[in-house]
Amino acid sequence: MRKVIFTALAVAALGAAAFGAEEELELATASLDEIVAAARGAYRAGDEERFKGLVEAASAKFAPADVYFALGGVFLEGEEPDYEMAVAAYEEALRKVEPSERLEYPGVFYNMACSYARLGDAGKSLDCLRATLDAEPLFVRYARGDENLALLQGDEAFQDLIARAEKRAAEEEIANMTVKPGQAAPVFTLTDIYGREYRLADFKGKPVVLNIWATWCPPCEYEIPDIINFARDHAGDVAVLSISVDEPGTDVAAFAEEYGINYPVLLDDGEAADSYMGAKPGIPQTYFVDDKGVVRGHIYGAAERDLFEERLERLVSSERE
């Protein structure tokens, strides 16, 4: 099927009117992701004419801003990212949205900050990073040690920006918690992807790290390898669990097996996940529960291994008190 779609998209780039209705129908039913995938192939092959044709075809069918946002990501993929083309695509996308809506794209501004830093433009990089952290201070987790931002990391303005963002992120971390530190963790009984039953009460006497996620969520996917390593290194001392909030019928087991997930993947019953993240139901979220069933910590959004270790250390310290 993929070959058919690619062929149809190539035809569209050359002029669909010269071909039969079947090719036009393929273009009419192709998704933005499929067109962008074809454009990625053309770009990597150096076929500029085809690439431009695909961009025009996509822009005629979808919101042009969405097309250029997607293209920005295309230019950053692979072993040799094209930072100039990436920022040009992102700038074009931002011109196509209302100024009041631009801060709804913190990930785009972050990619631009990294790209400008790679291009040696510290001023534009810092401006884009400031826009990122103003919109979403939790991005400070990535900015703090990102090698793509090495150009900025000795700069006093960068350090000040990071310090202020960390303060805001810490405040938001508590604000985003439905179950606050010191409160009892909501109990649940759920079935895992293999049909086995798990109860939170089964883990009394052991710290629990509970990750709430979905297979369709890129930030969730991003942190899975670190959670796998975390679970492996703390096996026997900490119970790592996850609750998938995927729609019924999703093959969560296939996803878990593909990634080699080594901790229980429980299927949400429509209530368990909400009992933890009702106030702000974005994912991923991770709760840290002590050996008595009391919530001690929380991570809102994707995180790397060091933050999991930091939250675990806080949990263990609270148990000693």
- Supply the pLDDT for residue 319: 63
What count of other Cβ atoms lies within 10 Å of the Cβ of residue 183?
12
- What is the residue-wise DSSP string for 147-214? GGGTTTTT-HHHHHHHHHHHHHHHHHHHHT-SS-TTSBPPP-EEEBTTS-EEEGGGGTTS-EEEEEE-
Q: Which residue has the tokens 């990625």?
A: 40
The CATH number assigned to the domain holding 275 equals 3.40.30.10
In a shared domain, residues 108 and 48: yes
Task: Please indicate, yes or no, if residue 180 is contained in any of the structural domains.
Answer: no
Task: Please indicate, yes or no, if residue 183 is contained in any of the structural domains.
Answer: no
51: DSSP letter = H
In a shared domain, residues 194 and 170: no
pLDDT, tens digit (0-9, with 9 covering 90-100), for 12-59: 333 333 223 323 326 567 888 888 888 888 888 888 998 888 888 888
Q: Enter the pTM of the model.
A: 0.68
- Supply the pLDDT for residue 27: 59
- What is the residue-wise DSSP string for 220-256? HHHHHHHHHHHHHHTTTT-EEEEEE-PPTT--HHHHH
* Overall size of the chain counted in residues: 321
- Residue at which a domain ends, from 141, 174, 207: 174
Task: Please indicate, yes or no, if residue 239 is contained in any of the structural domains.
Answer: yes
In a shared domain, residues 10 and 140: yes
283: DSSP letter = S
Q: Given pLDDT bands bounded at 50, 70 and 90, which one contains residue 202?
A: very high
- Residue at which a domain ends, from 174, 208, 241: 174
Average pLDDT of the residues in 213-223: 92
Average pLDDT of the residues in 184-192: 96
Average pLDDT of the residues in 270-279: 86
In a shared domain, residues 132 and 199: no
The CATH number assigned to the domain holding 34 equals 1.25.40.10
Q: What percent of the chain has pLDDT over 90?
A: 55
In a shared domain, residues 63 and 154: yes
Choice among 61-65, 129-133, 149-153, 175-179 with the minimum mean pLDDT:
175-179
Average pLDDT of the residues in 195-222: 94
pLDDT, tens digit (0-9, with 9 covering 90-100), for 220-255: 999 999 999 999 999 989 999 999 999 988 999 999
In a shared domain, residues 72 and 209: no
Return the bridge partners of 129, or none. none
Torsion of CA 192, 198, 203, 204, to 10 degrees: 150
- Supply the pLDDT for residue 29: 76
- pLDDT: is 3 or 67 the higher one? 67
Residue 183 pLDDT greater than 60, yes or no: yes
Structure tokens at 68: 């250029």
Q: Which residues contact 258 (CB under 8 A, 6 or more apart)?
A: none
Structure tokens at 129: 């990073």
- Residue at which a domain ends, from 174, 198, 232: 174
Q: What is the C-alpha separation between 182 and 236, in angstroms, rounded?
A: 24
Structure tokens at 49: 């004419």
Q: What percent of the chain has pLDDT over 70?
A: 89
CB burial of 23-35 (b: ≥16 within 10 Å; e: otherwise) equals beebbeebeeebb
Residue 8 pLDDT greater than 70, yes or no: no
Total number of domains in the chain? 2
In a shared domain, residues 138 and 212: no
- Supply the pLDDT for residue 320: 57
Cis omega (within 30 of 0) on the bond before 186? no
What is the chain's mean pLDDT, rounded? 85
pLDDT, tens digit (0-9, with 9 covering 90-100), for 86-129: 999 999 999 999 988 888 899 999 999 999 999 999 999 999 99
Torsion of CA 126, 132, 133, 135, to 10 degrees: 140
Average pLDDT of the residues in 294-320: 85
Could you tell me the residue range of the domain that residue 169 belongs to?
A: 2-174
In a shared domain, residues 7 and 88: yes
Helix (H) or strand (E) run with residue 129 in it: helix 122-135
- Supply the pLDDT for residue 321: 54
- pLDDT: is 230 or 6 the higher one? 230
Closest CA to 269 of 210, 197, 188: 188
